[in-house]
Structure 1
Amino acid sequence: MCRWLAYSGTPVLLDTILYKPAHSLIDQSLHSRLGVETTNGDGFGVGWYARETGTDTPAVLRDVGPAWNNRNLREIAQHVMSPLVFAHIRASTGTAVQQTNCHPFRHGRWMWMHNGSIVGFHQLRRELCVAVEPSLFLEMEGTTDSEVMFFLALTLGLEEDPPGAVARMVGLVERTGRAHGVADPVQMTVAVTDGRAVWAFRYASAGIARSLFYSTRVESLRALHPDVSFLQEVSDDTRLVVSEPLSDLPGAWNEVPEHTYGVVRVGHDSLHTFAPLPA
């Protein structure tokens, strides 16, 4: 499958969150502990918002090679600073290793990334694609189930109601899958953002969903670990959501419960029950 992280908070260099942690996303690209595969080398992507440019549209860098030896990623990570970052390392579930299949996916000011799969996607792909709103369909460039999920969510109202749209997307995929004899079609952790808030979802039609964790509140971590300089440099609103913990720092990470979504925004974050809805 894949590994990903979403960062929201005090602007930091990409290097701080991508390379410096003991079990950073770059380390996970070779040595994942909780993923289906140990190695995630089928491409990577990083998306970030640069508020000083006066645009809400995120920048996205994607490549087909492994993240661990990409010189361009290493170069920009030491110079680009952002308050909201998505990063993803890919292990393909069967679709081609190509740039247009790397996450995060972008539409306007929105970004989306996914770990998991639509079971039996090759059977369901045509019907699911037909359900995408025609003008949005023309924007789809790749061949992954993840991108189809994103554009289905956009079709079903993501820009107005992210939790409701994702729930309707999952409901549509499940209904379509079961009509084709796929009993349990959805396995996912998803992160989506409009540059202001981050929504993160953990859900599986059956069984245990892919791993997902969120960071403990910064003020609590400062009390536990007053010697950790990073905690002294970031605001109380700073949060990370990750496929697997970036460090073994005691008390730093909390597992997102099954069938749950979380919302992270300045001054507020919360967890809610997630369930599919009819589309």
Structure 2
Amino acid sequence: MCRFVAYLGQPIFLDELVCAPQHSLVRQSLRADQAKTVTNGDGFGVGWYGERSEPGIYREVMPAWSDENLLALCSSVRSSLFFAHVRAATGTAIARQNCHPFRHGRHMFMHNGQIGGYAQVRRTLEALLNDEMYAARRGATDSELLFLLALQRMDGGMPAPEAVQGVLDDTLALMRRDGIDAPLRFAAALSDGESVHAFRFSSDDKPPTLYVRQHREGTIVASEPLEDGSEGWQALGPGAVVRVTAHGGAVTVLN
């Protein structure tokens, strides 16, 4: 399982959350406390919104703890909305195109979890992509595939929460049709550059952990608290969907 952090609020330097905290994401890449896989060393990525229409992305295949370029970048880039992710691969190659976050136009996405029996359903799920989204696919992960399937629905006018839930429902139905007993687990963050939607879902009783916390004039969504202990961190319940906006760091629980 992977670990990630998202931030939306007043502009801050990325290293305030990615590198500096006692239990920062860089530290979690070496030793996560609340993940099934303790080490998340199969690549990393950061994505941030700035002055251009699309977010900037930096992704690498080496472990986050050993990349000096990541530390230099995070100490220099300041943003009001950014994502960061450290990866523990679950069956697909360790390659830059498989590292999170994923970007398509203004949208950015990152995920912790997996589609159970992905190899059995991958071809059928990819066939659901229209030509535009299929051409946009760069890697081989289930995460990117879920992202593009959700974007396809959103392009048709469906709100993000309904689009994501619809993709999860259809994926789970396909898994059950094919007799796959392994669970579908999904903790994710999705942004359009203005707001962040966060999701916590699982087809069994072990959804990946996800927390929300206010940070000065902004909001953090993270796989686990960035400091020892969980004071000030709100654990999201199973099935939770939240929307974070820049208006006072508002967090709206959608279900």
TM-score over 0.5 (shorter chain): yes
Counterpart residue number, 1:91: 88
1:1-279 superposed matches below 5 A: 1-50=1-50, 53=51, 55-157=52-154, 160-183=158-181, 185-215=183-213, 217=214, 234-235=216-217, 238-248=218-228, 251-267=231-247, 268-273=250-255
Runs of 4+ in 1 over 4 A off after TM superposition: none
Q: 2:252 is aligned with what amino acid?
A: S
Number of matched residues?
252
Unaligned runs of 5+ in 2: none
Secondary structure of 2:254's match?
strand
The normalised TM-score by structure 1 is 0.87
Percent identity, aligned pairs only, is 39
The one-letter code sitting in structure 2 at the alignment partner of 1:199 is H
Normalising by the residue count of structure 2, what TM-score does the alignment of the two structures yield? 0.95
Give the stretch that moved more between structures: 179-188 or 161-170. Answer: 179-188
Q: Which amino acid aligns with 2:25?
A: L
The structure that has the greater radius of gyration is: 1
Separation in structure 1 between the aligned mates of residue 230 and residue 99 of structure 2, nearest angstrom: 33
Unaligned 5+ runs, structure 1 = 219-233, 274-279
CA distance in 2, matches of 1:128, 1:101: 17
* In structure 1, distance between residues paired with 2:232 and 2:32: 18
Q: CA RMSD for the aligned pairs?
A: 1.3
Deviations 1:129-149 (A, max 9, x none): 000111110010100000110
The one-character-per-residue Cα deviations of 1:4-40 (angstroms, maximum 9, x if unpaired) are: 0001111111111111100000000011000111100
SS at match of 1:157: helix
